[in-house]
Each structure stands twice: as structure tokens, then as C-alpha cells.
């Protein structure tokens, strides 16, 4: 349909907002001449617009929020005469309206766009691409997504309250300036600051809606865009971040943006994929509207430990709201324990494993060997524990498939690293530490003896020890000895053999020998003649010196 921006038909309200008032119905009294005139203006096609419930309790369908239960019951998308957005690649391009955006807005948006980029070159250790849009291409014939440029524009209209028509005029102006182009290869995400309020068909940002996507024509070419208000703004925060549980405004911004991106991909001009049978007063009809409120965290493109938030989208094939390949689950690990050194072969059962594209983490240690034989079974070799347990430590195991991470419940996905006691070292004996806080008793081979330093010793035989000896004893080379015969006769040693030049000395056989005296001026000290020194002096290496000079 072609719609003049100053007139809203009841059919439009029903299609876009899921409801129609008496005032709206009155607008349908336009004459056929008016309808003919409408066909001459540029095409302006609002799609499903998120809005809050009215005071009367009329159901709401906010982008990324909880919709009325049953919106996705028996849902099925079909083409409404057109196709999904077609181009070799489609760039998600950010347009910042002025310079007053919240400082967090651009990083939140860019992190999302990079994560959804199918063309981004990822290094081997980077998180894998999460097929948020590739599954839509396979199922609905949409195009390859990639992140695009960022433009901070200075709009000609500086009013603090603008209409969607003003936004279209500004986008056309930017085309004329050469900033952007009107084609099928771009989705322009227009971010408004908190100082600017926008209305579309009489509905106001952060009051009636939290995001929408449209297209207009510039120079005969379609230009596709979405409008995102400032979610950090107090008004938007209270309206657009309700019913989110643990999620906050940052996650809601990303979920809403992904909602609008998916809908533009699959139904950019309202002739693409819709479910015309959805209840018009409670649910939207597009891929995102059916799944309002169902969000998920996916692994960020550059960091395994961080995530971005996306809204799930409707899949005809799955009959459910999905984020691409659905989140894996772990049902069991067999065995569920193993040595801290790793190397244990484990059979992991669960669901949604992807052969060749599944990663397992044991705590903070990544398994290097993974072989998924089916979507329900993987053979994994446990990695070494990052810290040696004493005596054991239990870690959570998580599976990551295409960037989607299994949730850890602390039961069937636990793995216990046990401390493997050290074996007895070769040649060791006695009580030794087992490396796990205990001890192990080690024995020597039969015939060996255990020495005091916990070392096994193999004694030689008596024949070996006494070879060539007929008397006395001989060592067994360990801690014992053998008697080789009667005590050997003793040959007394001479003074010269003993190195003694004066005084008396033992001869080694129990006797005493006299080794003589010293000449005049010398005295015998420790078997040697040394010079006599005057009182107060000492002999130091043959010289008489004061005691403090002798070193």
C-alpha cells in the first residue's frame, strides 16, 4: 500500500499496531480521488511498530519484550508477494543523529554489528560466528550480513521533536550529500539522542514504541532504515526495559536492534515474510514480532568471556523462536572425573552439538581434542587442570556451539579433577610423599637394602667383597660388611710414614713410637718442630707475630 504521511488508515493501524480505534476507522472515509493522489507520493511503508499497553489494557507488542502468550502458537511465515531483502552483502550502517548520543550507545551497537558480521575474518582462537542471520538466509532467502560504517550527521532539522517524515527527509538529504546511498545493500540504524523525540503516525518514541523499521524511496531506489531511541534515557529505560528480569537497558537496546535488523532482512518492504494469521490485536506478524520478549546471549565476536544480547526470531523449520543453531545442553560426562594432568577420554552426551564446530571448556581450560560423532555425542579429551588439585577439585564443563554456550547447572556438567598419587620412583624405598598430601611406602627388590636416604642398594657378595683378601673385613658397598678371615696382622708404621718429626705418636698397631726432639730455639707442636716465640707472640706459619696478625 502507499501511505501519505499525513493520513493513517485503519488497515494500516491494524497491520502495524495490532488494533484500530473508532477515530482510526473514521480515517478510512477518504474518497477514491484521495487514494489516487496518495499513489503519487513517495512510498512510506511502516512495519510493525512496538508500543506499550494502553491504560485500558490493550495488548502491547514491544520490540524485544514479552508479548501476549500464544503469539507464536501455530505461527508460520509466508511471502506476501515479494522476497527477503536481496543483495550480495548487506551492511548494517550506523547513523548517529547529532552529537548528543549516550557514550555507551555506539559501542553497544558496534559490538552487536560486528558479532552479526558473517564476513569477518576470525583467528583460530577467536569465538566462532554465531549464525544469527545465516540460518535466515537458508530458510527465508535473506542476504549475508556485515558491519558497516558509522556516520555522525548534523541534521538540518534541529528540532527536539521530529516526525518519521523528518527522518526520511534527512536521509534523502544525506544521499544527496553523498554520505549514504539508497540501495538494497544497506540497513541504516538511526540512533536518536535523549534530547530528540520522534513520532511516527502519531505515536511517540519511549512512550508508544521502542523501535521500528521502515523504508522510503530516494531517486527511485529503496532506502531501508530503523529508528532506535536512547534506551539509557530515563523515560525509555522505564518503558523499554520492563519485564526483562536480569537484563538492563544495554541488553534491551541490542535485542531491539537485532529485532529490527531481522525484520528488515526478511520483510524490508512489507511484501516479504509475514504471518497474516497472527492475531492482529495481540501480536505482530513479522519474524521478530512473533518472538517478542525471547532474548538470548551469544558470545561476543572478539571475546569468549563476554556476550551480546539478541532477540530470538521465528523459524518455520524449527517451529520455534531461535538464535540460529540453538544453545547446546550437556546431559552427562562419562567418566566424570580424571587425573589433573588431563588426557582422560570422556564421552559427553547432550544435544545440539555440531560436529567440527563444538568447543568444550573444563573450568578455564579448553579441551584441545573434540570429536563429535553426532549432535548428541562428543568424545572429548580432558585438558590438564589449570591448578594442581590437592586432593581434588570440581569444575563446570560448558559446550560452545557456533558461539552459543550451554548453561551450567552444577550437576551433570561437573567434572572432578583428582590428584593422581605419585608412584614410587625407581630405586626409592621407605615412606615418601605421594604429591597429593599423603604418603606412599616403597619397597626395595628382594635382596636389596634400604639406606637412610630412601635409596635402595644392592650389596655385592662376600666373594666379590673379599676377592684377594684372606684376613680382616670388607664392605658390601651398602651399609654392611663381610669377614674375610682372621684379623689381619698389623705392621707398625714409622714416624716418616706417619709424617711426624718430633714427640711420640701411635704406630697404628696399638704401640707408641718416639719420633725425636727439636733443636735449640724450636719446640714440638702437633708432631712438628716450630720456632719458639717470645712472650706475647705466636708462631704463625714459622714466624713469630702478635696473635691478631696471624690469619
pLDDT digits (tens, 9 = 90+) for 277-305: 887 656 789 999 998 888 888 888 888 77
Per-residue CA distances from 19 to 49, 61, 269, 278 (Å): 12, 11, 21, 12
Residue 323 resides in a domain: no
Q: What is the pLDDT of residues 97-106, one digit of tens each?
A: 999 999 999 9
Contact 323, 402 (CB under 8 A): no
**Coil, strand or helix at 15:** helix
Q: Tell me: do 444 and 465 sit in the same domain.
A: no
Residue 390 resides in a domain: yes
Residue 140 resides in a domain: yes
Long-range contacts (CB closer than 8 Å, 24 or more residues apart) made by 172-176: 172/216, 172/218, 172/223, 174/95, 175/218, 175/219, 175/223
Q: Which of residues 403, 438, 454 is at a domain's end?
A: 454
Q: Tell me: do 145 and 292 sit in the same domain.
A: yes
The number of folded domains in the chain is 6
The residue-averaged pLDDT of 340-367 equals: 89
pLDDT of residue 525: 84
Q: Tell me: do 473 and 368 sit in the same domain.
A: no
What percentage of the chain has pLDDT greater than the value 90? 45
Answer with the residue of higher pLDDT: 507 or 351. Answer: 507
Q: Tell me: do 274 and 412 sit in the same domain.
A: no
The cell numbers describing 335, all together, are 567418566
Q: Tell me: do 76 and 224 sit in the same domain.
A: yes
DSSP 325-340: SPPPEEEEEES-EEET
Q: Tell me: do 292 and 153 sit in the same domain.
A: yes
Per-residue pLDDT at 324 exceeds 90: no
Residue 227 resides in a domain: yes
Find the domain containing 537 and state its range: 495-549
Predicted structure pTM score: 0.54
Q: Which of residues 290, 316, 342 is at a domain's end?
A: 316
pLDDT of residue 515: 92
- In a 13 Å sphere around the CA of 270, the CA atoms on its Cβ side amount to 19
Residue 322 resides in a domain: no
User: What's the chain's length in residues?
Assistant: 551
Q: Which one, of 215, 317, 260, 267, lies nearest residue 81 by Cα?
A: 267
What CATH number corresponds to the domain at position 403? 2.60.40.10
Q: Tell me: do 83 and 24 sit in the same domain.
A: no
**Cα–Cα distance, 350 to 186 (Å, whole number):** 39
Q: Tell me: do 72 and 147 sit in the same domain.
A: yes
Per-residue CA distances from 44 to 5, 200, 211, 213 (Å): 7, 11, 16, 11
Q: Tell me: do 270 and 379 sit in the same domain.
A: no
Segment among 74-78, 278-282, 292-296, 471-475 with least mean pLDDT: 278-282
pLDDT of residue 193: 96
Q: Assign 73 a pLDDT band (cuts: 50, 70, 90).
A: low
pLDDT of residue 129: 67
Q: Tell me: do 518 and 399 sit in the same domain.
A: no
Residue 263 resides in a domain: yes
Residue 152 resides in a domain: yes
Q: Which of residues 364, 390, 417 is at a domain's end?
A: 417
Question: How many other CB atoms are there within 10 angstroms of residue 454's CB atom?
Answer: 15
Residue 354 resides in a domain: yes
Segment among 33-37, 236-240, 364-368, 537-541 with least mean pLDDT: 33-37
Q: Tell me: do 24 and 59 sit in the same domain.
A: no
Q: Tell me: do 290 and 204 sit in the same domain.
A: yes
Amino acid at each position: 500500500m502507499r501511505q501519505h504521511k499525513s493520513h493513517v488508515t485503519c488497515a494500516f493501524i491494524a497491520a502495524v499496531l495490532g488494533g484500530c480505534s473508532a477515530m482510526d476507522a473514521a480515517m478510512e472515509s477518504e474518497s477514491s480521488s484521495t487514494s489516487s493522489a496518495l499513489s503519487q507520493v513517495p512510498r512510506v511503508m511502516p512495519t510493525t511498530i512496538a508500543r506499550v499497553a494502553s491504560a485500558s489494557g490493550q495488548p502491547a507488542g514491544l520490540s524485544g519484550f514479552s508479548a501476549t502468550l500464544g503469539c507464536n502458537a501455530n505461527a508460520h511465515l509466508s511471502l506476501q508477494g515479494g522476497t527477503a531483502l536481496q543483495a550480495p552483502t548487506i551492511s548494517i550502517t550506523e547513523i548517529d543523529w547529532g552529537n548528543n548520543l549516550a557514550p555507551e550507545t555506539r559501542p553497544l551497537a558496534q559490538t552487536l554489528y560486528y558479532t552479526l558480521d558473517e564476513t569477518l575474518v576470525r583467528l583460530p582462537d577467536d569465538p566462532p560466528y554465531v549464525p544469527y542471520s545465516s540460518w535466515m538466509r537458508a530458510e527465508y532467502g535473506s542476504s549475508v550480513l556485515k558491519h558497516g560504517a558509522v556516520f555522525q550527521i548534523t541534521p538540518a532539522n534541529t528540532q527536539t521533536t521530529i516526525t518519521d517524515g523528518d527522518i526520511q527527509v534527512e536521509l534523502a538529504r544525506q544521499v544527496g550529500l553523498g554520505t549514504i546511498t539508497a540501495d538494497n545493500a544497506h540497513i541504516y540504524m538511526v540512533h536518536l539522542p535523549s534530547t530528540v523525540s520522534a513520532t511516527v503516525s502519531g505515536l511517540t518514541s519511549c512512550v508508544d514504541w521502542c523501535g521500528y523499521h521502515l523504508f522510503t524511496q530516494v531517486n527511485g531506489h529503496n532506502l531501508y532504515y530503523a529508528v532506535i531511541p536512547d534506551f539509557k534515557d530515563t523515560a525509555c529505560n522505564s518503558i523499554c526495559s520492563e519485564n526483562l528480569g536480569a537484563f538492563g537497558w544495554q541488553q534491551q537496546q541490542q535485542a531491539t536492534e537485532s529485532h529490527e535488523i531481522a525484520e528488515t532482512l526478511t520483510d524490508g518492504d512489507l511484501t516479504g515474510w509475514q504471518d497474516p494469521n497472527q492475531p492482529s490485536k495481540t501480536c505482530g506478524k513479522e519474524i521478530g514480532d512473533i518472538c517478542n520478549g525471547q532474548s538470548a546471549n551469544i558470545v561476543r565476536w572478539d571475546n569468549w568471556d563476554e556476550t551480546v544480547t539478541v532477540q530470538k526470531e521465528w523459524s518455520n523449520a524449527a517451529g520455534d523462536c531461535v538464535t540460529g543453531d540453538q544453545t547446546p545442553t550437556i546431559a552427562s560426562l562419562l567418566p566424570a572425573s580424571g587425573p589433573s594432568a588431563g588426557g582422560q577420554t570422556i564421552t559427553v552426551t547432550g544435544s545440539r552439538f555440531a560436529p567440527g564446530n563444538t568447543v568444550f571448556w573444563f573450568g578455564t581450560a579448553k579441551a584441545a581434542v573434540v570429536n563429535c560423532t553426532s549432535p548428541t555425542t562428543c568424545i572429548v579429551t580432558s585438558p590438564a587442570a589449570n591448578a594442581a588439585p590437592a586432593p581434588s577439585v570440581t569444575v563446570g564443563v560448558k559446550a560452545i556451539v557456533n558461539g552459543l554456550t550451554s548453561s551450567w547447572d552444577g550437576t551433570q556438567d561437573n567434572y572432578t579433577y583428582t590428584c593422581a598419587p605419585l608412584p614410587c620412583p625407581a630405586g626409592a624405598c621407605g615412606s615418601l610423599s605421594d604429591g597429593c598430601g599423603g604418603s606412599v611406602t616403597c619397597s626395595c627388590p628382594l635382596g636389596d637394602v634400604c639406606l637412610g636416604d630412601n635409596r635402595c642398594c644392592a650389596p655385592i657378595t662376600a666373594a666379590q667383597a673379599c676377592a684377594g683378601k684372606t684376613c680382616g673385613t670388607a664392605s658390601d658397598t651398602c651399609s654392611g660388611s663381610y669377614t674375610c678371615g682372621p684379623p689381619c696382622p698389623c705392621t707398625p708404621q714409622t714416624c716418616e710414614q706417619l709424617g711426624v718429626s718430633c714427640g711420640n705418636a701411635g704406630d697404628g698397631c696399638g704401640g707408641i713410637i718416639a719420633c725425636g726432639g727439636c733443636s735449640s730455639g724450636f719446640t714440638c707442636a702437633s708432631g712438628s718442630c716450630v720456632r719458639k716465640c717470645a712472650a706475647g707472640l705466636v708462631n704463625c706459619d714459622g714466624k713469630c707475630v702478635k696473635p691478631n696478625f696471624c690469619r
